Amino acid sequence: MVRPRARFPFCAALLAAVAVLATPHRAAEKASGPAAALPAELGLPLQRYFSSDDYDGFSRVTAVAHTAEGFTLFGTYHAAILYDGVTHEKIAVPATYVTALCRDREGTMWAGGDNEIGIIAAAAADGQLRYVSRTSRLPGAEGKFGRMRALVAGRDGVFAATSNGILHFAADRARLLPLPPETRAQLFTVGDQVFLQDSNRGLLVFADGDFRALAEGRQTAGREIQLLERPGATALAVIEGEGLYTFDPVSGRLGKIASVLDPLVAVPLLRVLALPDGRAVFVRANSRGVVLADAALQGAQVLDAKTGLANPAILGAALDADLGLWLGTANGLIRLDLAPGVTVFDERNAFPIGSSGSLVRHDGVLYAGSTHGLMRLEAGKPAAGIPARFVSDPRVPESCDNLRSTSAGLLFGSDDHVELLTSAGRRRVLDPKAKITMIKTSFATPGRFFVAGADGGVHVLDLRDGSTRRLLTLPPGCYSGTEPKPPTARSGSARPPADSGGWLRPTPPGPASRRNPIPSGKPACRKGKVGRAFSPSSTNSISSQTRACTGGRRPRGPSRPMTATGSRA
């Protein structure tokens, strides 16, 4: 199907999630054998949900496929809907529900439903997509084939599994290959060949115009099976109630795979899909979600209602070229971004959106400060399919923020004080009597931290010796002069002692307007305020600080000493 429209990139909305790069700690990856292939700190994939309001159709999505251009096509009530990343285009189909979709080797999209099968193509006149029925090509009563269960395409044409048999379309030829009554049939493609799993005859392959039994295909008779072609690996078979097997498409021979994932995948499956990097997706039936397995088939994540999947009642599934898994559900459409590198922790597996503002790794554990208390990342269990999640740390149940990892312990701000969390418990290290707004690490001096409070104060906390100091602060509109002791004589060159106390020290001699010393003591302020801090390590002049306090305006003329009453001399 050729569309006269440029492809739009898919843009997922990430504003409603906390995304963390999937960089698991080395200690968490230490494990024996292939079980370590799946990171234990992997959270949930990015998820986007499309409701019926988004595509203006019925909520039940019964099939999903992708066009040669990469657009998403999904089936619903009386229609197939094409999504190009921006808009949805509805294509009417004369079937109760479009229950099967596929793309053939030429790129043509096929759609089918109850007693209806055809293609979706652009009209020559206006380029609009329309459904073109192929049901009339079936002779006589064969057009009443009943329920459409699956559509697959191989080198020998398009095949459809129906309640009355297998439909085969090749070139302009169409026919129905009948099956014995009460036969459960499933269709698969492996290596461009089409395979049929017949509940009575076992596994068959299409060759020379008909389905023929494989040499060892009989061993699958009476079993529910799923086949999967994997890039650069042996084909895979999944047998319900048993587990994972290798599959030889020539002989039909099966070889048991020793995998801890058997309990997760040996259940009724809707479909199995392969990612280009070797990972596999097992779409489970009966509202049990999906299983995302690593390439070694020794670790997995179960994505279902418990782990936050928007709707686990899956009816159709397909992968796009950008490693996106599209799931048609009983109530809308879901896209899961399975691209490696990013994982999500939000209200489904961590804390409500907006309740956390601090993340730090300390002693190999990832911690988060939140309004719900201290949270720590609990590593997942890939062998059991359990994803990682944040859980509450009972040692700090109250709101906390500004986490910092130190050699002495985990430093954090809690309301109006700062505490240190160690293996021995909690210890208060700073009590400024003001709400903690920020904790910054001193890169010049390890173990030293700058703590800012809501009152404008800044404290220096040194964990090496436990000392704390408050920095002198000045508000906007202030100048750095003070009210010194009454002078014995008026002099423009009077200076305070070099060690007059406080953090601000006198500057070297120079012109009065640029090099006046800064005496210590309570600063005089034109607005009567106390506020912003000046670095204790800098040498500041009156003129430079006056510019900072008055919006950058230089004072007019040289500074003059003040009298005992505070007026200019």
Highest mean pLDDT: which of 108-112, 340-344, 476-480?
A: 108-112
* Nearest in space to 383 (alpha carbons), one of 264, 290, 288: 264
Provide the pLDDT confidence category of residue 352 given band limits of 50, 70 and 90: confident
**pTM, entire model:** 0.76
pLDDT of 86-95, one tens digit each? Answer: 999 999 999 9
CB 165 within 8 A of CB 175: no
**Residues contacting residue 222 through CB under 8 Å, at least 6 positions apart:** 199, 200
Residue 540 predicted with pLDDT over 50: no
Say what the pLDDT of residue 183 is.
83
Residue 182 predicted with pLDDT over 70: yes
pLDDT of 246-287, one tens digit each? Answer: 999 988 899 999 999 999 999 999 999 999 999 999 999 999
* Nearest in space to 42 (alpha carbons), one of 393, 283, 337: 337
pLDDT of 190-234, one tens digit each? Answer: 988 999 999 888 999 999 999 999 988 888 888 899 999 988 778
Residue 394 predicted with pLDDT over 50: yes
Residue 476 predicted with pLDDT over 60: no
Average pLDDT over residues 235-241: 95
Give the separation between CA 396 and CA 376, rounded to whole angstroms: 11
Average pLDDT over residues 448-466: 92
pLDDT of 353-362, one tens digit each? Answer: 788 889 999 9
CB 396 within 8 A of CB 312: no
Q: Give the CA-trace dihedral at 212, 216, 221, 227, to 10 degrees.
A: -80
Per the structure block, which two tokens stand in for 323?
């490693």
Say what the pLDDT of residue 483 is.
46
Say what the pLDDT of residue 354 is.
80
The DSSP-derived string for 61-74 is: --EEEE-TTS-EEE
Residue 505 predicted with pLDDT over 90: no
- Range of weakest confidence among 200-209, 309-318, 391-400, 472-481: 472-481
Average pLDDT value for the chain: 81
Using a 10 angstrom Cβ sphere, with 0-12 exposed, 13-18 middle and 19 or more buried, the burial of residue 529 is middle
Say what the pLDDT of residue 38 is.
65
Distance of CA 326 to the CA centre of its chain: 15
Residue 435 predicted with pLDDT over 80: yes
Helices (H), 109-184: none
Give the separation between CA 531 and CA 269, rounded to whole angstroms: 66
Average pLDDT over residues 150-164: 95
Give the separation between CA 567 and CA 329, rounded to whole angstroms: 80
Give the separation between CA 110 and CA 392, rounded to whole angstroms: 50
Return the higher-pLDDT residue of 419 and 172: 419
Q: Which own/partner pairs from 492-500 qualify as long-range (CB within 8 Å, at least 24 positions apart)?
A: 492/558, 492/560, 492/561, 494/561, 496/520
pLDDT of 34-68, one tens digit each? Answer: 333 468 898 999 999 999 999 999 999 999 999 99
* Nearest in space to 319 (alpha carbons), one of 125, 19, 64: 64
Give the separation between CA 72 and CA 66, rounded to whole angstroms: 5
Using a 10 angstrom Cβ sphere, with 0-12 exposed, 13-18 middle and 19 or more buried, the burial of residue 89 is middle
Say what the pLDDT of residue 475 is.
58
Residue 298 predicted with pLDDT over 90: yes
**Residues contacting residue 159 through CB under 8 Å, at least 6 positions apart:** 151, 152, 153, 166, 167, 168, 169, 187, 194, 206
Q: How many CA atoms lie within 13 A of 455 on its CB side?
A: 15
* Nearest in space to 323 (alpha carbons), one of 337, 304, 302: 337
**Domains of the chain, first to last:** 58-178 (2.130.10.10), 356-470 (2.130.10.10)
CB 22 within 8 A of CB 343: yes
Say what the pLDDT of residue 477 is.
54
User: How many percent of the chain have pLDDT more than 70?
Assistant: 76
The DSSP-derived string for 263-332 is: HHHSS-EEEEEE-TTS-EEEEESTT--EEEE-TTSS-EEEESTTTT-S---EEEEEE-TTSEEEEEETTE
pLDDT of 114-143, one tens digit each? Answer: 999 999 999 988 889 999 999 999 988 898
Average pLDDT over residues 175-182: 87
Provide the pLDDT confidence category of residue 20 given band limits of 50, 70 and 90: very low
What ranges make up the beta strands (E) of 163-222?
Answer: 165-170, 173-178, 185-190, 193-198, 202-207, 210-213
Provide the pLDDT confidence category of residue 304 given band limits of 50, 70 and 90: very high
